[in-house]
Amino acid sequence: MLQPETTSGRPRPDLFELQQEYDWASMEQMFIADAACPPIPTPTRNGTYYIWNRETLRQVKSDTRSPEGAFNRVQHLFGNGTFDCVSRGLEEPIDRETESEFATLFSADEEARNALRHHILLAREKRVADLYADAGFTETGAATAWSSSGSAVPLTDIKTGIDSLTDSAGVAAQQITMIIPLADYNELITTDQVNDKVKYTYARTDGIQPAYLPADTLAGMLGIRRVVVGDASYNAAGQGLTASISRFWTAGTIYLAVLAEPDNPSRRAMSAFRRYYWQQFTGQGGAPYFEEYPEYNTDSRIIRARLNDDPVQTAETDLMVYALSSDA
């Protein structure tokens, strides 16, 4: 792992190692930013990236050469944009006396790391969810609102979106990821269409109950790469006020998207979104990096979590994303 070159703090790779197991669990259960906006390392703070467009992907060029003539030539056209990684981080002080007093109850380092990691990932989730919400995708309504469980046909709605996306982007369904808010997922699995599919096909072989349909089984049912459920929430009220819980991924909009694998570092990998992270000031795989420094006037150690990134849209709007509304 590359270490940040900084004179303001002593690197703490041990805290990064401590976070890995916790981060893995949270990514699977709550945070989906890396699946929705796959991380990609960069050795520089800013630079240029490809923007995939229709001219590059879907035009058929004549490859016939006339006798004694020249071969036809093609010029791959693509747009471009610029990323500019932003320095991000949070700190927590650990008072030495307090640490000593409660040392038998908990590890101050680990508690600080967990809290800092949680807040860093919350902010990252919001950036990615906002990036999708603000991209200006054309949203297609469902044939029947999914809330009408007896007549809704979510599998049909999604299949229509998959077919549209494979046509526009020229990819196989196996390259598509579905991003679905928790509320929409819960509506989907209660519809008669899904229940019948599970009862007469999957329940017989896998023993699956419709009410507990796993996301990976739904992905197999649809023939796509994966289904990720956006269920992370946050308190939108200010500190000291009555809690106002909101979800990052707004109910009512489902995204079908061509996305690179989260561990694919290639800039040429087809992906509607990427999150560029500056390796020098970010942990491995785009995760938070930890360091510490002393604060002598308060007799404390300061634990810092930091990363340096910029999530960007890397494909022409509606080319690699199909936005589906669960409302008719």
Pairwise CA distance, residues 316 & 258, whole Å: 12
End-to-end CA distance of the chain: 49
Radius of gyration of the chain (CA): 23
* pLDDT by residue, tens only, the chain of 328 residues: 344 455 566 666 655 555 555 544 544 478 999 999 999 999 999 999 988 887 666 667 788 888 888 998 876 666 889 999 999 999 999 998 877 776 665 678 888 888 898 889 999 999 999 999 999 999 999 999 999 999 999 999 999 999 999 999 989 999 999 999 999 999 999 999 998 888 777 655 556 666 678 899 899 999 999 999 998 888 887 777 888 888 999 999 999 999 999 999 988 889 999 999 999 999 999 999 999 999 999 999 999 999 999 999 999 999 999 999 999 8
pLDDT at 118: 87
pLDDT at 3: 43
pLDDT at 242: 82
pLDDT at 14: 59
Among candidate residues 175, 83, 161, the one with its CA nearest the CA of residue 127: 83
pLDDT at 4: 47
pTM of the prediction? 0.84
**224 contacts 166 by C-beta, under 8 angstroms:** no
Backbone angles phi, psi at 76, to 5 degrees: -75, 115
pLDDT at 245: 84
pLDDT at 73: 80
**326 contacts 156 by C-beta, under 8 angstroms:** no
Q: What is the DSSP letter of 3?
A: P
pLDDT at 46: 97
**CATH numbers and ranges of domains, the chain:** 10-54+80-325 (3.90.1690.10)
pLDDT at 137: 97
